[in-house]
Structure 1
Amino acid sequence: MGLFSRLFKNEDKEDLGSPPPDKLPLRNDLCWCDSGLKYKKCHLEQDQLYLEKQRQKALVARKSCSPVFG
């Protein structure tokens, strides 16, 4: 394995799942996946988990680049 491959290898590649659409439906609207179910019964929990993982990932990246957090 080359030097650059080892340097830029992403060990902690985490699968966040499929991303939700840019504009999420309201709780009682039909789900964006066209299942016919309400959003709150179909993808609400999965989308909230996905977005929370995205926020945590961005926070870790911001802290790693910050001189304050080192």
Structure 2
Amino acid sequence: MKLMMFLGNDLIEAVPVEAERLRIPGYLGSFKRTLKQKYKDMIQQYGMPAEFLVVNPEPPKVPEKKN
């Protein structure tokens, strides 16, 4: 899975995250804080808050059909 940071319609960075740890409080927050700090100047220039999205970029696994 990946945590993606957007400014407007622009993808700024995508970082890998562990799906099993998503339920742990603060797990995603630590990544978000790091990304916000890393791109602090860019966020200030843009004038809008960063948006975050968690996605699984892998195609879904389709079970094989048995005849």
TM-score range (shorter-chain normalised) is: under 0.3
TM-score where L is the length of structure 1: 0.27
Larger radius of gyration: 1
- The structure in which a higher percent of residues are helix is 1
- The structure in which a higher percent of residues are strand is 2
